[in-house]
């Protein structure tokens, strides 16, 4: 049996989970269609916003006519990545914060912030500010993940989303990184194949960089 440690960095999906700005219409609704009291099987219907919990945004989310989530390049979803410790940062992650991190072209960066330490929606959650997004774009990374349900807030014109999605940089939102040390890992984060949609839920996991060969 494999002894490889797999870190689940996904948010549990349930009816009382945190959702963006606590909006009622964003909360998932589970309807049990049948169960063992009225049938011989269990079956559930789920009504859910595609930006609920851990999910990936496609360019269409912010770019008119942009690519849809089912067209995502899966080679970018199973990849080495680096978790960067941003837990001391208040407010937003800026270029000046990222410049110290030795980011290289082709990297997939996960931003671990204080957001990972609460399961409530915080209106002042830490986000990636546009100068940080521009810097990551200049560094030609392949993707960026954050432990907030949005990669930005309070920026006119959604500049962070547009900078990243306009440059084919994948965005994963809603990660849970509380128990993850900074460093390199294998990331597996495959979005559901939802045709023509702008986003989809992801089950995201990390595997220690040198351990995955032993699976
Ligand atoms: Zn989203």
Distance 77 CA to ligand 1 centre (A): 16
The angle formed by the CA atoms of residues 37, 43 and 44, to the nearest 5 degrees, is: 115
SS3 111: strand
**Residue 2: predicted pLDDT:** 62
DSSP string, 62-109: TSTTPPPGGG--GGGTEEEEEEEE-TT--SEE-HHHHGGG---TT-EE
Distance 49 CA to ligand 1 centre (A): 10
Q: Tell me: the pLDDT tens digits for 171-196?
A: 999 999 999 999 999 999 999 999 99
**Residue 211: predicted pLDDT:** 76
CATH code that applies to domain 6-11+50-214: 3.50.30.50
Nearest-angstrom CA–CA distance, 115 and 79: 24
Nearest-angstrom CA–CA distance, 196 and 212: 33
Where do the domains of the chain lie?
Answer: 6-11+50-214
Q: Tell me: the pLDDT tens digits for 137-151?
A: 999 999 999 999 999
Distance 209 CA to ligand 1 centre (A): 27
Q: Return the exposure string of 70-92: e unless at least 16 CB atoms fall within 10 Å of the residue's CB, then b.
A: eebeeebbebebbbbebbeeeeb
**Residue 39: predicted pLDDT:** 86
pLDDT band at 4 (very low <50, low <70, confident <90, very high): confident
**Residue 79: predicted pLDDT:** 96
Strands 108-112 and 143-146: parallel
Is the pLDDT at 209 greater than 90? The verdict is no
Going 94 to 61 to 196 to 194, the CA torsion angle's sign is positive
Distance 174 CA to ligand 1 centre (A): 8
DSSP, res 162 = H
Q: Tell me: the pLDDT tens digits for 96-131?
A: 999 999 999 999 999 999 999 999 999 999 999 999
Q: Report percent pLDDT > 90 for the chain.
A: 92
Strands 183-191 and 78-85: antiparallel
Whether 188 contacts 205, CB under 8 Å: yes
CA-based nearest residue to 70, from 172, 198, 174, 168: 198
Strand partners of residue 124 = none
Distance 199 CA to ligand 1 centre (A): 6
Is the pLDDT at 214 greater than 90? The verdict is no
Selected residue with higher pLDDT from 4 and 98 = 98
Distance 152 CA to ligand 1 centre (A): 10
Distance 143 CA to ligand 1 centre (A): 14
Q: Please tell me the pTM assigned to this model.
A: 0.95
Distance 161 CA to ligand 1 centre (A): 9
């Amino acid at each position: 049996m494999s002894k490889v440690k797999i870190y689940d960095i996904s948010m549990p999906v349930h009816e009382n989970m945190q959702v963006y700005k606590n909006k009622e219409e964003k909360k998932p609704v589970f309807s049990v269609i049948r169960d063992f009291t009225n049938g011989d099987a269990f079956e559930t219907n789920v009504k859910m916003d595609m930006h609920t919990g851990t999910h990936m945004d496609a360019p269409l989310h912010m770019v008119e006519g942009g690519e849809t989530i089912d067209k995502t390049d899966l080679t970018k979803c199973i990849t080495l990545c680096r978790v960067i410790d941003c837990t001391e940062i208040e407010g937003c992650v800026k270029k000046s914060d990222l410049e110290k991190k030795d980011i290289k072209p082709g990297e997939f960066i996960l931003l671990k912030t204080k957001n990972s330490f609460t399961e409530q929606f915080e209106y002042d959650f830490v986000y990636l500010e546009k100068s940080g997004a521009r810097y990551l774009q200049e560094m030609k990374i392949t993707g960026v993940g954050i432990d907030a349900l949005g990669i930005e807030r309070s920026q006119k014109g959604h500049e962070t989303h547009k900078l990243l999605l306009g440059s084919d940089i994948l965005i994963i939102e809603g990660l849970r990184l509380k128990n993850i040390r900074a460093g390199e890992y294998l990331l597996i984060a495959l979005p559901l194949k939802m045709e023509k949609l702008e986003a989809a839920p992801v089950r995201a996991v990390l595997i220690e960089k040198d351990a995955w060969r032993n699976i």
